[in-house]
Amino acid sequence: MKALKLTVILLLLTVNFVYQAAAQAETKIKWFGHAAFSITTPKGKVLLIDPWIKNPLNPEAKDGKDALASVSKIDYILLTHGHRDHVGDAVEIAKKTGAILICNPELAGNLVKLADFPSKQAETDAIMGIGGEIQIADGEVTVAMTAAIHSSSVFNPKAGSTEAERAYGGNPAGFVLIIKNGPTVYHSGDTAYFKDMETIGEQYQIDLALLNIGGHFGMEPRMAAKAAKSVGAKLAIPQHYATFPGITVNSDSFAAELKILKIPFYEMKPGEIITFRGKQMVKK
């Protein structure tokens, strides 16, 4: 009986220890402005999404600073689609860091062929399609590629006068990133609203949704708030606004709409880093 008691106590202590360790695990998310985010996992792997680091909102890209200085260690580059404001500085960063590319095969192929993306980093089993899930970072992160309603083409910097300036970029996408001992994050890419976002919410427990609110080319703020509801986001952060003329200038109407829907909202400043402990955002 005593031995049993001791075993139970030891087991409870172990469970508590594992629980505490998981609760202490920190995930850091940085916004560079526009659709560009980096996510540092509890084990220190760095994922970079839609890396237009030299966008005009990024304070690290101003006053002649070396904008890419802060992206020296990148393990994976994720691209939602081929437009220039999303591919951004991916080629330069890939060359500098050796990061593995995660996107659809057509986009990867044309980035190698037309934009000199390092082929070894673009031809791995991290190339995927919508509906698929892959494990990366030694199983610490599951990446699910989700649908997006938009377009996708690759700018061809080598196009001659008789060639098309835009090559095929496959289908545009979004991503759900399930991080062990961290939040599950949805990045919507540059999508329009679609009712099937509800399926994303049924399939995954979205702790944080990074939603494009720029309008004009994608979701208007009101529909982006509806997207937050459809995916069941516990917290919504806006992206893809105020970067260039013609798109939404601030997040006010998105915030107001979310308030009506009773969905927590947080506005990041370009260059800001937020911290999650487990699935909860904690103070910076």
Instruction: Give residues in contact with Zn ion (CB under 5 A).
Output: 85, 190
Q: Which is nearer to Zn ion, 105 or 246 (CB)?
A: 246
Give me the least distance between CB of 23 and Zn ion, in Å please: 36
Dihedral angle, C-alpha 41, 42, 44, 48, nearest 10 °: 10
Give me the least distance between CB of 206 and Zn ion, in Å please: 21
Q: Counting runs of H as helices and runs of E as strands, what totals does the chain give? A: 8, 15
Q: Which is nearer to Zn ion, 190 or 207 (CB)?
A: 190
Contact predicate 92/99, CB 8 Å: no
Tokens at residue 100, please?
């593995």
Strands (E) across 50-172 are located at: 76-78, 100-102, 133-136, 141-147, 153-155, 166-168
Give me the least distance between CB of 69 and Zn ion, in Å please: 24
Tokens at residue 275, please?
């911290």
Give me the least distance between CB of 86 and Zn ion, in Å please: 6
Measured distance CA(36)–CA(51) in Å, rounded: 5
Backbone angles phi, psi at 159, to 5 degrees: -60, 130
Locus of tokens 């893809």: 240
What is the CA angle 111-115-117, rounded to 5?
A: 60
Q: Which is nearer to Zn ion, 190 or 257 (CB)?
A: 190
Give me the least distance between CB of 93 and Zn ion, in Å please: 18
Tokens at residue 112, please?
């190698």
Q: Which is nearer to Zn ion, 80 or 97 (CB)?
A: 80
Q: Which is nearer to Zn ion, 88 or 182 (CB)?
A: 88
Closest CA to 237 of 193, 258, 267: 267
Give me the least distance between CB of 189 and Zn ion, in Å please: 8
Strands (E) across 105-160 are located at: 133-136, 141-147, 153-155
Q: Which is nearer to Zn ion, 230 or 243 (CB)?
A: 243
Give me the least distance between CB of 85 and Zn ion, in Å please: 4
Instruction: Please name the residues in contact with 130: beta carbons below 8 A apart, sequence gap of 6 or more.
Output: 104, 145, 146, 147, 171, 173
Give me the least distance between CB of 50 and Zn ion, in Å please: 8
Q: Which is nearer to Zn ion, 121 or 212 (CB)?
A: 212
Nearest position to Zn ion, beta carbon: 190
Q: Which is nearer to Zn ion, 190 or 220 (CB)?
A: 190
